[in-house]
Amino acid sequence: MSAIDPSRNHALVTGASSGIGAAIAREYARRGTPLILTARREDRLDALADQLRGSVDCVVIPADLARPDAPLHLFERVRERGLQVGTLVNNAGYGVPGSFLASDWTVHAQFLQVMIGAITELTWRFLPGLRACGAGRILNVASFAGLSPGSRGQTLYAGAKSYLIKFSESLALENAAAGVRVCALCPGFTYSEFHDVTGTRGLVSQLPKWMWLDTDEVARQGVDGADAGRAIVVPGLGYKVLRQVIKHLPDAAARRLMAKNTGRIRDAR
C-alpha cells in the first residue's frame, strides 16, 4: 500500500454553502488545504469554489444529508475520485422552530438524520482514512446550546448538539494514539443565515451585542482548536464566562434561568 501524502489531504466540509461552513472552508483555503465542499445547494457551492480555487483545489459534491443513503453516496463519490480526506468537518445542520408537537414526525426524522445519523455515519466511514493519515482531524460544529439546559422550542436541537459534544469527546480519547484530533466547536449566536431560516431573526435581534459572534472568527478558532487537539472550543469571552456560571449553578436553578429567558431566543409555540 502506498504511503499517504499529507500535502494531498483534503478537508471535507459539510453544509459549506453558507454561514459557519463557508467560513470554515475559507479558513482552510487560507491555510492552503484543498477542499471538498458539500451541501444541498449546488449553485452556492459552485460560487464558493470559484472564489477559492485561486488558492486551493476545490471539489464540489452536492448531497442532501436528510436522505439516509446520502452519507454512503458521498463517501463513494469521494473514493471514486481518488481523493484523500485528512480533515472531516461535520457542520451541516439547522433548527426546527416551534414546540415538539408543532411539526410532523417526518420533519423531526429528517432533522435527526442530518444532525445525528449523517454525522455519525460519515465519521464512521471516513475515520479509517483519517487514522491512516497519521494526523487526521475531525471538527464537529456543535453549539453552546449543547452545553446549556434544554429550552422550550427547537426541542431536539440542544439534545442533538449535546450528543455531538459527547461523541467528539469519546472519539478524541479513542483516536488520540492514532494521531486523530477531534474538536467540538460550540459557538453561541453567530451572524449567519441560521436565524433567518428558523424564522427567529426578529427575536434574536434584540439580544445584547456581546452575545453575537463573528462567523470568520468562530471558524478560525474551530480550525485552531482541531489542530491543537482541544476537545471542546467555546468562542467568545462572554460565552466562556456563561459556561462557567452554568456549570456551577445547581441544575434546578439553571433550568429556571433557561425557562425565564427562553422567550428571548426561541419560538416555543
User: Could you list the active site residues?
Assistant: 157
What are the helix and strand counts (H, E) for the chain? 11, 9
Measure the N-to-C terminal CA separation of the chain; round to a whole number of Å.
57
Of 43, 260, 238, whose CA–CA distance to 144 is shortest?
Answer: 238
Q: Which positions ≥6 away from 47 have C-beta within 8 Å? A: none
What are the cell numbers at 33?
Answer: 488545504
Of 189, 172, 191, whose CA–CA distance to 229 is shortest?
Answer: 172
Of 5, 15, 40, whose CA–CA distance to 185 is shortest?
Answer: 15
What are the cell numbers at 26?
Answer: 475559507
Q: What DSSP line would sit under 129-153, residue for residue? A: HHHHHSS-EEEEE--GGGGS---SS
DSSP classification of residue 113: I
Sheet containing 137-141: which strands, arranged edge to edge?
Answer: 58-60, 35-38, 9-14, 84-90, 137-141, 181-185, 232-233
